[in-house]
């Protein structure tokens, strides 16, 4: 975002997980490029994307990892989680099943990631108001119960995406620095 050479203070690795088709790739592309890509899945094979942000006067390079479709085969490897300081566990607010699977994804994180990882639950596709199947209160209750941060987002119109990432990165900063 700056034309000056950047002197990065920290690199924060963040992993994005959740069921297939909940919008993980689009959330990532919204945050890193401010784009929504209608021909999705062009990013297969790309491991991560980055965006450099300023938090508490420090330059933080957020390195956001995408599963690149591995989750379809339940083959997300421990290498994916290695060194991750933050995680976004994404479900689709219009697909109850994707929310029911969140507990499994959180278990997976607890098994493979560092204990101090900061986890944020994300209910995506909040723009699809008429199709909503998961009430905000259900997700909020789960998040409080599990000690997760929580936000609802729309990668399509961009609502809350930056805000959620900034909250996650600030929480990581608080843990690390
Ligand atoms: P992934 O498999 O979790 O990476 O999901 P994708 O990012 O590929 O998105 C799956 C589908 O949901 C695609 O057709 C996207 O265009 C669509 N999608 C993703 N995010 C949103 C959103 O916020 N709102 C709406 N309406 N559709 C979305």
Tokens representing residue 93 in the block:
């607010």
Nearest CA to ligand 1 atom 19: 23
Q: What is the pTM of this model?
A: 0.93
Which residues line the pocket of ligand 1, CB cutoff 6 A?
Answer: 20-26, 40-41, 124-125, 127-128, 154-156
- Work out the pLDDT band at 76, boundaries 50, 70, 90: confident
> What pLDDT does 127 receive?
98
**156: exposed, middle or buried (Cβ count in 10 Å: 0-12, 13-18, 19+):** middle
Ligand 1 site-directed mutation target among 30, 32, 40, most atoms within 8 Å of CB: 40
CA of 56 to the centre of ligand 1 (A): 32
Which numbered atom of ligand 1 lies nearest the CA of 66? 4
**ipTM (interface predicted TM):** 0.99
Residue 107, CB half-sphere, CA atoms under 13 Å: how many?
A: 5
With residues binned 3-state (H G I as helix, E B as strand, rest as coil), the percentages for the chain, rounded to 5, are 35, 25, 40
CA of 3 to the centre of ligand 1 (A): 32
CA of 23 to the centre of ligand 1 (A): 4
CA of 165 to the centre of ligand 1 (A): 17
> What pLDDT does 72 receive?
73
- pLDDT, mean over the chain: 91
Q: What tens digit of pLDDT does each residue of 125-150 get?
A: 999 999 999 999 999 999 999 999 99
> What pLDDT does 68 receive?
73
């Amino acid at each position: 975002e700056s034309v000056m050479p950047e002197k990065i203070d920290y690199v924060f690795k963040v992993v994005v997980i959740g069921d297939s088709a909940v919008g993980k790739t689009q959330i990532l592309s919204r945050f890193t490029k401010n784009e929504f890509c209608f021909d999705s899945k062009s990013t297969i094979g790309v491991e991560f994307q980055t965006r450099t942000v300023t938090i508490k006067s420090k330059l933080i390079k957020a390195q956001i990892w995408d599963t690149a479709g591995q989750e379809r085969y339940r083959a997300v490897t421990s290498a994916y989680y290695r060194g991750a300081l933050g995680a976004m566990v994404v479900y689709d607010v219009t697909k109850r099943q994707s929310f029911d699977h969140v507990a499994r994804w959180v278990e997976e994180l607890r098994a493979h990631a560092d204990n101090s990882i900061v986890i944020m639950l994300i209910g995506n596709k909040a723009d699809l108001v008429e199709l909503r199947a998961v009430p905000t209160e259900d997700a909020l209750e789960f998040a409080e119960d599990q000690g997760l941060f929580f936000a609802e987002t729309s990668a399509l119109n961009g609502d809350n995406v930056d805000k959620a990432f900034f909250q996650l990165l600030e929480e990581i900063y608080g843990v690390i620095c």
